[in-house]
Chains A and B, each alone.
Chain A
Amino acid sequence: MTGWRHQLVLAGRSLRIEGNSEAAREAVAPALAHLQRDLDARHAESGLQWIVEDATDDDRRTDAQGVYRLPGGGLTMVQQDPFSIVTFAPDRGIRLAASPAGFASGDLRAHPGSIALGAWFSGPAAQVLHVGAVAFGSCGVLLVGASGAGKSTSVLACALAGADFLGDDLCLVTVGDDPNAPPNVHSLFATAKLNPDSARRLGADAWPTLGTTPKDKVVTHPPPPIRIIPSAPLVAVVVLARSGGGPGAPTPLRPAEAFGALAATGASPCSGALSPSLWFSAMSRLVRRVPAYRLPITWDLERVAGDIRRIADHAARRLNA
């Protein structure tokens, strides 16, 4: 058995992750490589424990698939073909177990343990959202859109134009009690999922590949000079829309419109299903504090990145006025 262990910090919380095999380490290490090491000795035996290990015969006896609520506020998600099981129990932490094929799957490598992390963080002031995020300087921007709307492509276009990368598909947003304090966006995974067309246009064909998803998206780890940062204050929400014609100018959205867009595409299954009320509380705080814009996008990726940078600058000036 090849044992390994890391003490990490995720959104200010300590996470002790350990595994029992090289396959387990290879499955999760690239996605979590950007997280800061927790060097505080006081946390050495504290924080949430996350075990990553090879699936046992007992794990694989189940033929179930889906998400199950556990006594005590936890949940477990079972996937088949390839097999993986992830469990979050508030008193025990996270356990992710998979078959060799499960550990090699693109979806698991892109977002290992995402549903458990979503359950761990879910509350009235924090939610894992189905959004992308970048930061220009210290100005974080959430990119909202349905699957296929261009989140990953827009995030990486911004990152190649000098923005910091926070995530292309799942990010944690925290919105504290102080109404004058900005919300923050936190990077969960240092991975991106790209369809072949986007990869070619971004020049990402040669980036390190971690796997392929069932939708034939390539899972990649964005290499330097792209900089992956753990957190940034949020200044704007940008709802991406496919342009019907040529490029279009960004237009401001009412808070209710931003809320509707987040409800339509930004809710992860876990956050909504665990408690719609908690999701509602966090999202209403978010749209109350951060301006939102609708941005029509085209394949002119330089323009997309420029538009998002201008939105970030404009929103930051508005918030600081």
Chain B
Amino acid sequence: MTDYLIANTTRYPHETIDGETLLIDSETGHLLLISGIGPSIWDRLVAGVAAEPLIAEVSVLFGAEAGTACRAFLDALADAQVVVRTESVSSPASALAWPAAYAPPVLERFDDIANIIAMDPIHDVDQTAGWPRQRRDAAG
């Protein structure tokens, strides 16, 4: 069975601007930045793509080391739940616009907004005690 990966765009809204892809974790506020050939890989992931053929294509285009970097990049995205595994995709992936020059795909994570949320969290209100009373199970 083919192992497909697809971007979790419900949790991670994304924008690609001037060759760099920005994502935000809508649950935690963590900001992610994808650079290098990563945005081209990301294009495929938004539609859904089979991992092994993608890695093979990158290896053919940019060399074996690039293929290894692509695999590590996909693993990092999966570990962060930015992409999820699926058994099929609903539409074929569009052709990738690969950059002329290779730069390794990089995933960076920034904690600024997440820290702001953690610093001054919005508490859920205890509906029975009225407000502003923090819910007991959310306190502390």
Contacts of A44 in B (CB 8 A): none
Contacts of B22 in A (CB 8 A): 256, 259, 280, 284
Contact A67 B20 (CB under 8 A): no
Q: Is the interface of B mostly helix, strand, loop or mixed?
A: mixed
Contacts of A62 in B (CB 8 A): 132-133
In the complex, whether B59 has a CB less than 8 A from a CB of chain A is no
List which A238-267 residues lie within 8 A (CB) of chain B. Answer: 254-256, 259-260, 263-265, 267
Contact string, B61-88, partner A, CB cutoff 8 A, digits 1/0?
A: 0000000000000000000000000000
Closest residue of chain B to A64, judged by CB?
B132
Contact A272 B113 (CB under 8 A): yes
Contacts of B26 in A (CB 8 A): 275-277, 280
Contact A66 B120 (CB under 8 A): yes
Contact A279 B113 (CB under 8 A): yes
Number of B residues near A (Cβ < 8 Å) is: 31
Contact A267 B113 (CB under 8 A): yes
Give the CA-CA distance A265 to B29 in the complex, in Å. 14
Given contacts A68-B134, A272-B116, contact A255 B125 (CB under 8 A): no
Chain A min CB distance to B69 (Å) = 20
Contact B123 A264 (CB under 8 A): no
Chain B min CB distance to A170 (Å) = 14
Choose among A68, A264, A275, A277 the residue that contacts B132 (Cβ–Cβ < 8 A): A68
Given contacts A256-B20, A277-B13, A284-B22, contact A71 B132 (CB under 8 A): no
Contact B122 A69 (CB under 8 A): yes
In the complex, whether A84 has a CB less than 8 A from a CB of chain B is no
Give the CA-CA distance A265 to B31 in the complex, in Å. 13
Chain B min CB distance to A179 (Å) = 12
Contact B131 A264 (CB under 8 A): no
In the complex, whether A187 has a CB less than 8 A from a CB of chain B is no
Interface bin, chain A: 20 to 34
In the complex, whether A75 has a CB less than 8 A from a CB of chain B is yes
In the complex, whether B95 has a CB less than 8 A from a CB of chain A is no
In the complex, whether A9 has a CB less than 8 A from a CB of chain B is no
Contacts of A6 in B (CB 8 A): none
Contact A273 B120 (CB under 8 A): yes
Contact A68 B112 (CB under 8 A): no
Closest residue of chain B to A65, judged by CB?
B132
In the complex, whether A209 has a CB less than 8 A from a CB of chain B is no
Contact A272 B133 (CB under 8 A): no
Given contacts A264-B110, A269-B116, A277-B26, contact A69 B123 (CB under 8 A): yes
Chain B min CB distance to A63 (Å) = 10
Chain A min CB distance to B62 (Å) = 22
Give the CA-CA distance A64 to B112 in the complex, in Å. 26
The residue in B26, B112, B113, B127 that gathers the most chain A C-beta atoms within 10 A of its C-beta is B113
List which B84-130 residues lie within 8 A (CB) of chain A. Answer: 110, 112-113, 116-117, 119-125, 127
List which B1-29 residues lie within 8 A (CB) of chain A. Answer: 13, 15, 17-18, 20, 22, 24-26, 28-29
Chain A min CB distance to B16 (Å) = 9
List which A253-303 residues lie within 8 A (CB) of chain B. Answer: 254-256, 259-260, 263-265, 267, 269, 272-277, 279-281, 284, 287-288
In the complex, whether A29 has a CB less than 8 A from a CB of chain B is no
Contacts of A254 in B (CB 8 A): 18, 20
Chain B min CB distance to A214 (Å) = 15
Give the CA-CA distance A75 to B125 in the complex, in Å. 10
Contact B17 A67 (CB under 8 A): no
Contact B117 A78 (CB under 8 A): no
Give the CA-CA distance A255 to B21 in the complex, in Å. 10
In the complex, whether B33 has a CB less than 8 A from a CB of chain A is yes
A-B contact pairs, 7 of them (CB 8 A): A68-B132, A69-B125, A264-B112, A265-B112, A275-B26, A280-B15, A280-B31
Chain B contact residues, CB within 8 Å of chain A: 13, 15, 17-18, 20, 22, 24-26, 28-29, 31, 33, 35, 110, 112-113, 116-117, 119-125, 127, 131-134
CB-based closest 3 A-B pairs: A284-B15, A280-B24, A68-B132
